Chain A
Amino acid sequence: MAYSEKVLDHYENPRNAGSFGKDEEGVATGMVGAPACGDVMKLQIKVGKDGVIEDARFKTYGCGSAIASSSLVTEWVKGKTLDQALEIKNSQIAEELALPPVKIHCSILAEDAIRAAVADYWKKQGGG
């Protein structure tokens, strides 16, 4: 499988890999995928009092494209409001990373991870 330069770059140098402390204020977590499908993504966002995403972290079990998609998303959500983050579409991720058709599901999973993290944040804030 030939990977694009950008996928290789994110794979070799993942951005914002890791986890926030569970009890840190403003932290919400989205976990999507399943081990049986070969991809599990965990995306964490740290939201400031002004509703802007200050920071993000990811951990991904999956192929190079899945790792790159989640790494890219952590860069993109930073500085965005939750509503702006929800506007990130899988097609933009796929285009940026030049994902081949068989890897589009990785970008869909990354989009799902953003939704799951935002939903978790709203839930923690009392049902939003």
Chain B
Amino acid sequence: MLKLPIYLDNSATTPVDPRVAEKMIPYLTEKFGNPASRSHAYGWEAEAAVEEARAEVARLIHADPKEIIWTSGATESDNLAIKGAAHFYSGKGRHLITVKTEHKAVLDSCRELERQGFEVSYLDVQENGLIDLDVFKAALRPDTTLVSVMFVNNEIGVIQPIAEIGEICRDKGIVFHVDATQAPGKLPIDLATLKVDLMSVTAHKVYGPKGIGALYARRKPRVRIEAQMHGGGHERGFRSGTLPVHQIVGMGEAFRLAREEMGAENERIRKLRDRLLDGISSIEQVYVNGDMEQRVPHNLNVSFAYVEGESMLMAIKDLAVSSGSACTSASLEPSYVLRALGRDDELAHSSIRFTIGRFNTEEEIDFAVKLLREKIGKLRDLSPLWEMAQEGVDLNAVQWAAH
């Protein structure tokens, strides 16, 4: 029997892998020491566990363990990187560049800096969700100090050209931050070759616990940031606060498993994603959002024309997915990411993001396909827009009585 609803929202969060949970538990009970306690064995044991986890996080991304700073998650890492670097280098310039499809943790950090007098350029993306390098180059200014571009987009799964952007930034002496929340375990990350200075990661998208993340801060050449959290000088002064050892241990184990298993796992997930896409692509007027080549295998974001988002989610309540056009209240607001792709008829679409993970099965995908085919047919039979489209009416030419 399938357990309903079927979880296909692995980019929102993942379950903790049982192997990870098992490794964490002793650090809540017997091995509870504070790694900052230097005077006894409880502290030494905790510190050793923290350093082992730090080494595992570093290994997955080909970094030096000394370049890893623990944080509470990617939102904090983004804040620390963006505000920390912008402030540190503010004597040199006060212009930043980011992209319209970034996560709110990046966009809102930039907004805050704008309130403090910084200038920010928000780049458009192409129709496939990827940034145009010429547009990026044109936005660079002599006073640009920081560029922030995400590795993998959370809504549409597209992979931005991080290597190319890194080369350009390094060449011009601009700090380059990457929000890599959705990337570890999904594609190889080699910071020995990528010219990335700061990179945000989190545990709970990689089958680790919530509430723990890290910021990678390059040592060679050294990038400088101003601390945002002050206190006992933990993490070499970059981020004060007692380390949550059990969560850190969990993140280390999660990243170790990702390193060991990602090759085989991603092939399996790609097959499931393709099975899902094959299953629904025979439905008329289904559009994939975002580039299909430069994309992680876990993500499928599709728009179903002439079906309204909320009724769609109601119809497929046996699937735990997220809606691109989330009209969760009275205000119907299409996702700013999808809007940035520039589909002019997007308002008559409902978009669904499916994100497949380690624990999904073929049986679950088949169930999802069957349900989608059935429900989309039902909703379209009820849709006056579908009827008009079938009759050849151009919906953009109709004078709607907006209310």
Q: Which residues of A contact B (CB under 8 A)?
A: 1, 3, 11, 14, 17, 19, 31-42, 59-64, 66-67, 102-103, 105, 108-109, 112
Contacts and interface: CB of A to CB of B under 8 A. Distances in A.
Given A1-B328, A33-B400, A38-B327, A64 B311 contact: yes
Q: Which of A14, A67, A112 lies at the interface centre, i.e. has the most chain B CB atoms within 10 A of its CB?
A: A67
Given A34-B403, A35-B348, A105-B403, A40 B311 contact: no
29 contacts: A3-B314, A11-B314, A14-B382, A17-B381, A17-B382, A19-B387, A32-B401, A33-B401, A34-B402, A34-B403, A35-B395, A36-B400, A38-B310, A59-B383, A60-B383, A61-B306, A61-B308, A61-B348, A61-B383, A61-B384, A61-B386, A62-B308, A62-B311, A63-B314, A63-B327, A66-B311, A67-B311, A67-B382, A109-B403
A1 B330 CA distance: 11
Contacts of A36: 347, 400, 402
Contacts of A41: 384
A14 B382 CA distance: 9
Given A35-B348, A36-B400, A36-B402, A64 B310 contact: yes
A43 to B, nearest CB: 10
B329 interface: yes
B328 A42 contact: no
Nearest to B396: A35
B385 A63 contact: no
A32 B385 contact: no
A64 to B, nearest CB: 5
Contacts of B381: 17
Contact of A102 (B306, B330, B347): B330
B384 A31 contact: yes
A40 B398 CA distance: 12
Interface of B: 306-311, 314, 327-330, 332, 347-348, 381-387, 395, 400-403
Nearest to B325: A38
Nearest to B306: A61
Contacts of B327: 38, 63
Contact of A64 (B314, B330, B395): B314
A33 B400 CA distance: 7
A23 B400 CA distance: 23
Contacts of B400: 33-36, 40
A39 B382 CA distance: 12
A17 B381 CA distance: 8
A90 B308 CA distance: 22
Contacts of B401: 32-34
B106 to A, nearest CB: 28
Q: What are the nearest 10 A-B pairs in CB distance?
A: A34-B400, A63-B310, A42-B384, A38-B332, A102-B330, A59-B384, A35-B348, A61-B383, A34-B402, A36-B347
Contacts of B310: 1, 38, 62-64
Nearest to B399: A34
Nearest to B401: A32
A103 B327 CA distance: 12
A24 to B, nearest CB: 16
A62 B310 CA distance: 7
Contacts of A112: 403
Contacts of A34: 400-403
Contacts of A64: 310-311, 314
B347 A60 contact: no
Contact of B332 (A37, A42, A67): A37
Nearest to A41: B384
Given A36-B347, A37-B332, A40-B400, 16 more contacts: A33-B401, A33-B403, A35-B347, A35-B385, A35-B400, A38-B310, A59-B382, A61-B308, A61-B382, A61-B384, A61-B386, A62-B310, A63-B308, A64-B314, A66-B308, A102-B330
Contacts of B329: 102
A36 B309 CA distance: 12
Contacts of B387: 19, 42, 59
B308 A38 contact: yes
Contact of A60 (B309, B314, B328, B382): B382
A61 B402 contact: no
Contacts of A105: 330, 403
Contacts of A60: 382-384
A66 B384 CA distance: 13
B226 to A, nearest CB: 43
Nearest to B328: A1
A15 B400 CA distance: 25
A54 B171 CA distance: 77
Contacts of A67: 311, 382
A93 B347 CA distance: 27
Q: Which of B307, B382, B384 lies at the interface centre, i.e. has the most chain A CB atoms within 10 A of its CB?
A: B384
